[in-house]
Structure 1
Amino acid sequence: MTCALAVSPFQVVSSRKNATATQSSKEPPISPASLHATTIATAADFFTPSQLQQLHARLIKSGLPPSSSASALPLPRVAAVCALSSPSAFSYARRLFGLSDAASETVLWNSHLNTLSSSPSPADALALFSRLRFAGVASDVFTLSFVLKACSRTPSALPLGRAVHALVEKLGFRSDVFLLNTLVHMYASRGDISAARLLFDVIPAKDVVTWNIMITHYTKTGEMEIARHLFDLMPERSVRSWTAMIAGYGQWKKPREAVRLFREMESAGVQPNEVTVVAVLAACADLGELDLGKRVHEFAKRCSFQKNNVRVCNTLIDMYINCGCVEKARQVFDEMAERTVVSWSAMIGGHAMHGQGEEALKLFSRMREAGMEPNGVTFVGLLHACSHMGLLEEGKRFFSSMTEDYGIVPEIEHYGCMVDLLSRAGFLEEAREFIREMPVKANSVVWGALLGGAKVHKNINMGEEAIRHLVELDPLNDGYYVVLSNIYADAGRWEDVAKVRRMMKDRGLKKTPGWSTISLDDEVVHEFVAGESDHPRIEEVYRGWDELLEKLRCRGYVPDTSAVLLDMDEKEKEKVLYRHSEKLAVVFGLMNTRAGRPIRIMKNLRVCSDCHAALKLISEVTDREIVVRDRNRFHCFKHGSCSCRDYW
């Protein structure tokens, strides 16, 4: 930016001496106090060096000496306007600082460096620092800390960060722990974790911030063992220390460790903050830990986190949905004072997962009425809702609407939903044609959806085509081989079943055993594995199942042995069915919870047809609500029926 005035404002008084004298004889002199007040009142009106010079000229013209006129200007504003302008404007600002009674020019520039380092363009702070160094302006601890902060936020600034590190040593600031912490953060942020660790190790008097910086960066890169080692070595920990570890465990798919550490945090008497609450709720969602999730929710309400933090509310919605409490999730959603597209999308997806497709579609209508624009995640939820309900035409309309009405380019998840929708509905040929016409290469999720449809509709040819692609894309996923084996078994093609099993053996693959978990009031997770007996109370559970089985038979239960795709006699097949993990977990829940209380189960595989039929009857015989979260969706069994309406 160039200055508009050709004449320096320092010369305005002499060049207009006569005019000033005439004006002074007609008007009373302006007091410095009133002039200063006027200047401050109009300070927001200058945004360029030219406007600044005009204001300064007016001050000098009023009769004030140069030093007083400079002092009357808002100097931080002067720094902000002139910092990155033309060299002449920068020099002009420095002359003003010299005329004023400001304690330190460095302090004035530091104020603006701080602002720039936190701005969307932190590189501007680096440009200003270079100009200050060239002009010989002294740097102090704060100058360097603001510059290092800007370096940590600028991708290409590692070389400059190293130069600033050298300057820290040269200026004798190596004992300032605040500055050293900023250096560690800069190195780690720019990916030089080895330099960060080297500096961390030689800092003699580390404070809690030093430890937190290093731990946080290790958790971000997934080096959780190193992070935990440092965490255990800390002489004292802050809430940020605990939160960094809990969030790291959650981020890297170790929710059990996250929950375990949160309980240690409680025992240590450390009160969680909002970030801790979000992290532990996310872990509860992954594990289906409803009781702990509820307890954290109560804490969030007491601390007004739910009332004031949209992110906390969104995580609560996700937690309740993934723990099988869609009604509670909807209550949190309805009580929110402010909602984002994440809130709407999470709730729409939650209704879809729980077999409440109509509610998902109604909520989308409300979302549009509220003026909220949907995003890609919203449409994933809508397409899931249509798929779980068999709403083929509605699903096709939503898929078209994405691009035509909202300009959203479909991603692989949307294509996968469409293949799932078509395959479930029995339109396997159309699903295959849809895959061929996709503008992106189909991944294992897309071909897996076609394979699932082939199993449901017993289409061997389509299953074989899907598996050919899946073996190329994901050769070590045992689930695909098992599904193909099941398709062959359904057709009685036992030689092909044996062939698939030999193929799995040759590739070192074993069928993943089915397991189910249930969490009781003590927040202890109990796990049951199909056909195994490791649980300490398994014999008691077996006896409980035998008693329950008699009641089910009186209600007409007949084991669906077609769900056992093994070449064995019917009695042996029945025994296999009776040891399925979800049945054992439900019996354990019936034995250890109060009458009338819902039972919530998590299962790693798809619920089989026999367990589905049995759980419907169990819900009727025991008058219990049984919620099962399997690999694909939720099943809510109540009064002898399931929320999926037997379409899964």
Structure 2
Amino acid sequence: MRDVQWIYSHEVVARPQSQQPTARIPAPTSAMQTCGPLLFAACRRRGRPSPADAVCRCLVIHLSARHDGTARRGGSVAATTKPSRLAASPTLPRVPIPTRTRSRMHLHQLKPGEAASLPRHLLEAHVVALVRRCCPGLLALRAAHARLIRLRLPRLTAAFALSKLLASSSSCGAAPSYARNLFDQIPEPTAFCYNSLIRALSSAAGAAPAADTVLVYRRMLRAGSPLPNTFTLAFALKACSIVPALGEGRQLHSQAFRRGLEPSPYVQTGLLNLYAKCEEVALARTVFDGMVGDKNYAAWSAMIGGYSRVGMVNEALGLFREMQAADVNPDEVTMVSVISACAKAGALDLGRWVHAFIDRKGITVDLELSTALIDMYAKCGLIERAKGVFDAMAERDTKAWSAMIVGLAIHGLVEDALKLFSRMLELKVRPNNVTFIGVLSACAHSGLVNEGRRYWSTMQELGIKPSMENYGCMVDLFCRSSLLDEAYSFVTGMAIPPNSVIWRTLLVASKNSNRFDIVQSASKKLLELEPCNPENYVLLSNLYASNSQWDRVSYMRKKMKENNVNVVAGCSSIEINGYLHKFVVSDDSHPEIKEIRLLLREIADRVVRAGHKPWTAAVLHDVGEEEKEVALCEHSERHGSWLPALTGNATTMSTVGVYSTARQIFR
């Protein structure tokens, strides 16, 4: 302890030369050079240096006089910038304070009125440090804004501070009005300010971002300076793709072409995302093919997602193979798009291969990808595999629970679906509209009317606003239980106008129960809502044909010609050996169609010779019996069902899944 006191007095109190010790203090060791900053950091954390702390401070500075001690000097200053009762030694040499340390010092000690006396670069460093500390909290951002106002910064520094606050408002989830107020206070906004405002508006929820960003872009053009750059268009296109807003996006595309900014990879990726989300796959593919240089994984993912969104499964999977050939590693977003494409087409074998590819490449299976796998396996008929993916999830969000409940409801596992919903509520996971679609669908398929009413009340108690699909599930529940009067009252009392699907459900149920009073009302509403939809005319025509009202059938066909309505031919598809085969009514393009027809006619002859008769009542056309028998063999679903037997793949396929545009069949 005596040695420590001597070192302290030697460094702080000036002694006569005769009293100084003759022994030389050794040069600083590597341990002292390494531990010096750590000692000062510990002093700074305690906030009040002790005499031993001062000893460490003086010793390190003295021993480091001939060495590069910038970090240690900065550390010593930082250790004494907080309130302390220990004064600095007058005998210590004056050392320069690093800028980073001064910024931290001003961050704690700068007072209103002192800002004008400091250099601009120090003030800007203080602003950057202050704004960086508050992200990503909105309350902290507002607190930083208030502190900067109290400091009464100079004009140029104030504009710099507002631009930094504006840039942080998008990541903090600030309201668009707050971002606009910040922007309006900047006297001469730069391109960075415009870009930050557009980015903040694009982060806002709702349908407003597209229109608002276009208005900001036009305001930028009217100002004349600064001119839009690639980031301006990229942020604006991102806002248009959120809604999505195709009209505003086309205007921005023309601006990019006029200003020569179209070749930019940021702009091209934004255009690709916009057209893909707007289901304009032809335009998206044009942008994709015209991209300069190597395409990144974001461009590949956007194009694959666009194909998947419109049901072009073969194109999506083919592009995924091209992505692998180009040696571009996919990410989770890419795999979600590929899995969704497999789910929409019922490509079970491809879905399994993609799942194995994910495991082989070590791609992170996050919540969204796990949910996509659950949805794919459920729609392709492997509900047990969907359960396996769900049970293997370390954490589950509302989307994962909803996908599993909907999958169980699709497969008729009503009890399991309702038990899983009860378990979801026990774990305090808040359901959403999709969750109740699965629950109400399960009740409808099993005729649980009272339970369906109870779950409908539960949804309202939770404050969940019913969607059109939720209303449709309740109408389906009443119609399946032959409660047509209650169904009609429910439809007419909906909080939102019912769509064509609800009226179509009510129409079919009323026709099956011979409630022609409801049939007339529902058919009238249906044609008012969608006068050019061919499905409505086909449905009404089949309804009249089932009752042999051929005059009304002729009237419906006449109305179709008057309104230029063309019937879309039915399509069925089946996956064999990784390839999706499509069959369309009255289409002979498939290479095996002739052999399939011969096989079906041979089977029909055997069935007739065995004493069975074809059910020609299912053919709702005013034609002879022989033509009806031929029409039964021409159904696209039959063509798809017998293709595996013709090609010799029936014995190797555990499940033959035929996917029709009208329904989904598992055999």
Report the residue type matching 2:621 in the other structure.
Answer: L
Map of 1:542 onto structure 2: 597
Map of 2:296 onto structure 1: 238
Say which of 562, 584, 587 aligns to 2:642: 587
Q: Is the 1:151–1:186 Cα contact (8 Å) retained in structure 2?
A: no
Deviations 1:581-608 (A, max 9, x none): 1111101122231405111111012xxx
Deviations 1:507-532 (A, max 9, x none): 222333222111211x3221212344
Map of 1:5 onto structure 2: none
Map of 2:666 onto structure 1: 636
Map of 2:370 onto structure 1: 313
Report deviation, 1:467.
0.6
Say which of 381, 384, 409 aligns to 2:465: 409
Q: 1:310 to 1:482 in 2, by over 3 A?
A: same
Report deviation, 1:116.
6.5
Report the residue type matching 1:508 in the other structure.
Answer: N
Map of 1:572 onto structure 2: 627
Report deviation, 1:319.
1.8
Distance 1:33 1:368 in 2: 50
Report the residue type matching 1:477 in the other structure.
Answer: N
Report deviation, 1:379.
0.8
Map of 2:31 onto structure 1: none
Say which of 184, 199, 209 aligns to 1:153: 199
Deviations 1:27-55 (A, max 9, x none): x99x9986654334569xxxxxxxxxxx9
Map of 2:43 onto structure 1: 38
Distance 2:153 2:660 in 1: 63
**1:533 aligns to 2:588 (yes or no):** yes
Distance 2:446 2:587 in 1: 35
Say which of 271, 275, 285 aligns to 2:329: 271
Q: 1:237 to 1:511 in 2, by over 3 A?
A: closer
Report deviation, 1:226.
4.1
**1:229 aligns to 2:286 (yes or no):** yes
Map of 2:177 onto structure 1: none
Report deviation, 1:219.
3.9
Q: 1:185 to 1:120 in 2, by over 3 A?
A: farther
Report deviation, 1:109.
3.8
Name the SS of the counterpart of 2:651 in structure 1.
coil
TM-score (norm 2): 0.71
Unmatched runs of 5 consecutive residues or more in structure 1? 1-23, 44-54, 83-87, 606-629, 638-648
Q: 1:138 to 1:275 in 2, by over 3 A?
A: same
**1:366 aligns to 2:423 (yes or no):** yes
**1:451 aligns to 2:498 (yes or no):** no
Report deviation, 1:471.
0.8
Report deviation, 1:540.
0.6
Q: 1:276 to 1:557 in 2, by over 3 A?
A: farther
Map of 1:58 onto structure 2: 83
Deviations 1:260-316 (A, max 9, x none): 32232123222211111111212222222222222221122224435x411110011
Distance 2:521 2:645 in 1: 44
Q: Is the 1:208–1:236 Cα contact (8 Å) retained in structure 2?
A: no
Report the residue type matching 1:185 in the other structure.
Answer: A
Q: Is the 1:113–1:146 Cα contact (8 Å) retained in structure 2?
A: no
Q: 1:36 to 1:525 in 2, by over 3 A?
A: closer
Q: Larger C-alpha radius of gyration, 1 or 2?
A: 2
Equivalent residues in 2 for 1:268-307 (5 A)?
268-305=326-363
Q: Is the 1:106–1:138 Cα contact (8 Å) retained in structure 2?
A: no
Q: Is the 2:510–2:516 Cα contact (8 Å) retained in structure 1?
A: yes
Map of 1:524 onto structure 2: 579
Map of 1:503 onto structure 2: 559
Equivalent residues in 2 for 1:103-118 (5 A)?
106-107=124-125, 109-110=127-128
Report the residue type matching 1:533 in the other structure.
Answer: D
Q: Is the 2:234–2:266 Cα contact (8 Å) retained in structure 1?
A: no
Q: 1:552 to 1:356 in 2, by over 3 A?
A: farther
Map of 1:616 onto structure 2: none
**1:134 aligns to 2:183 (yes or no):** no
TM-score (norm 1): 0.73
Distance 1:278 1:493 in 2: 49
Distance 1:161 1:122 in 2: 29
Distance 2:271 2:554 in 1: 53
Deviations 1:292-343 (A, max 9, x none): 222221122224435x411110011112223333222222112111111111
Map of 1:613 onto structure 2: none
Report the residue type matching 2:340 in the other structure.
Answer: A
Distance 1:427 1:90 in 2: 74
Say which of 491, 494, 497 aligns to 1:438: 494
Q: Calculate the aligned-residue CA RMSD, in Å.
A: 4.5
Q: Is the 2:116–2:153 Cα contact (8 Å) retained in structure 1?
A: no
Distance 1:64 1:292 in 2: 76
Map of 1:466 onto structure 2: 522
Q: 1:408 to 1:464 in 2, by over 3 A?
A: same
Report the residue type matching 1:323 in the other structure.
Answer: C
Distance 2:44 2:346 in 1: 62
Deviations 1:46-103 (A, max 9, x none): xxxxxxxxx95615874489x9898699666678789xxxxx84765786788xxxx9
Deviations 1:531-573 (A, max 9, x none): 4433221111012223433565587753221111122232221
Distance 1:548 1:232 in 2: 48
Distance 2:383 2:397 in 1: 19
Say which of 221, 237, 244 aligns to 1:188: 237
Q: 1:557 to 1:512 in 2, by over 3 A?
A: farther
Q: Is the 1:531–1:576 Cα contact (8 Å) retained in structure 2?
A: no
Name the SS of the counterpart of 2:358 in structure 1.
helix
Deviations 1:593-643 (A, max 9, x none): 1405111111012xxxxxxxxxxxxxxxxxxxxxxxx1xxx4434xxxxxx
Name the SS of the counterpart of 1:216 in structure 2.
helix
Q: Is the 1:380–1:413 Cα contact (8 Å) retained in structure 2?
A: yes
Q: 1:331 to 1:153 in 2, by over 3 A?
A: same
Unmatched runs of 5 consecutive residues or more in structure 2? 1-7, 14-35, 49-79, 168-189, 202-211, 241-247
Report the residue type matching 1:188 in the other structure.
Answer: L
Map of 1:489 onto structure 2: 545
Report the residue type matching 1:591 in the other structure.
Answer: L
Distance 2:536 2:391 in 1: 40
Q: 1:109 to 1:196 in 2, by over 3 A?
A: farther
**1:392 aligns to 2:449 (yes or no):** yes
Map of 1:347 onto structure 2: 404
Q: Is the 2:281–2:307 Cα contact (8 Å) retained in structure 1?
A: yes
Report the residue type matching 2:470 in the other structure.
Answer: H
Q: 1:201 to 1:482 in 2, by over 3 A?
A: closer
Q: Is the 2:402–2:438 Cα contact (8 Å) retained in structure 1?
A: yes
Report the residue type matching 1:367 in the other structure.
Answer: M
Distance 2:455 2:257 in 1: 53
Name the SS of the counterpart of 2:573 in structure 1.
strand
Report deviation, 1:505.
2.3
Q: 1:479 to 1:184 in 2, by over 3 A?
A: closer
Q: Is the 1:352–1:384 Cα contact (8 Å) retained in structure 2?
A: yes
Aligned length: 557
Q: Is the 1:239–1:271 Cα contact (8 Å) retained in structure 2?
A: yes
Name the SS of the counterpart of 1:58 in structure 2.
coil
Deviations 1:376-402 (A, max 9, x none): 211111111122222222222222222
Distance 1:380 1:158 in 2: 37
Distance 2:523 2:127 in 1: 66
Deviations 1:243-267 (A, max 9, x none): 1222234345655543332232123
Q: Is the 1:255–1:283 Cα contact (8 Å) retained in structure 2?
A: yes
Distance 1:280 1:368 in 2: 32
Map of 1:608 onto structure 2: none
Q: Is the 2:116–2:154 Cα contact (8 Å) retained in structure 1?
A: no
